[in-house]
Amino acid sequence: MKNLLIIATLLIIFINSTITKGFNLQGKITIIDDLLNDAAKIKISDLPDKLQNYFSQAEYCDEDINLNYDITLKLKTKIGSNNSTFTAEMQFLETNYNIKYRDKRVTIYYDPTAILIFNEYTFNKLTSIFDYYFYMTIGNILDEYTELGGTKYFQKAERICKDGILKDERIGWERRLAKTEEILSEDLKDYRQAKAIINSGFNALENQDVEVASKNIKHGLELLKKYKNRTIIYQNYILPYIGAIYNDLGEAISYLDNKDELFDIIISIDSVHQNYYNDLKNNN
């Protein structure tokens, strides 16, 4: 009987670990409908629930990632569309990894009778805009796991853009395509690699491997420093990235033997948080 109880317990643990492992997606959608007429408000009343159900079934990836999205759509009825086409300002926020996107002009086509089924190879005039931003989010996350690890997902986002140019409003998708191609370009390769290298430095420090942590964090910062004089990339990518991790980065550096050297490098990249870095440098 004792052996049976042990086996049953192990089975429960295995089942629970299987259930929780892998890709998980949850969150909320907020519709701001102040600019809609009453008929349009009624027509799109079930849109958030339909999208949330769609996302819950979408197989965006098979990695161990837990996403929590917070999407806000401010809708305006497109003239002459009979309350079926809307323009929207979209705020896309992933709260677990603190990834943000803002799209000032998204076109939303909504047919309440349509059944939404995920298919990454088929462009959909309602859901593909969300698929695009989820792929971009996953790509950014995986870039921190391994060097250039998000490439496959950026390429999926790129394919959506190209389909959108052919089948949807051209200007919006051309704008998104340019952004995606920039991320996949050689110009941003060092930046993307730096993210994974710095993250590996954090992991090494957690495992008390100070030597590897020092080496990797320094290497990552040196890659980022290359962009200091490339104004657009520096402002659009380097500063937002550093701004999201500066607390963890400063704390990590403060434990390292070459902290003075590393603080000098990070201050040369991120003068915005110079006082924070100097306090850590002088107090440890």
Boundary-marking domain end, from 159, 184, 209: 184
Q: Give a yes or no: residue 22 inside a domain.
A: no
Percent of the residues in the chain that have a pLDDT greater than 70, as a whole number: 92
Q: Is residue 15 part of a domain?
A: no
Domain that holds residue 218: 189-283
Task: Indicate if the pLDDT at residue 29 is higher than 80.
Answer: yes
pLDDT confidence tier of residue 284, bands split at 50, 70 and 90: low
Query: Bigger pLDDT: 134 or 21?
Result: 134
* Residue after which a domain boundary falls, among 164, 184, 204: 184
Residue among 99, 27, 23 nearest 66 (CA): 23
Over residues 174-211, the pLDDT tens digits come to 999 999 999 999 999 999 999 999 999 999 999 999 99
Residues 101 and 136 grouped into a single domain: yes
Decide if pLDDT at 42 tops 70. Answer: yes
Q: What is the average pLDDT across 49-75?
A: 96
Categorize the per-residue pLDDT at 82 as very low, low, confident or very high, splitting at 50, 70 and 90. confident
Per-residue pLDDT at 9: 35
pTM, 2 dp: 0.89
Total structural domains in the chain? 2
Asked whether residue 141 falls in the same domain as residue 47, the answer is yes
Task: Please check whether residues 76 and 172 belong to one and the same domain.
Answer: yes
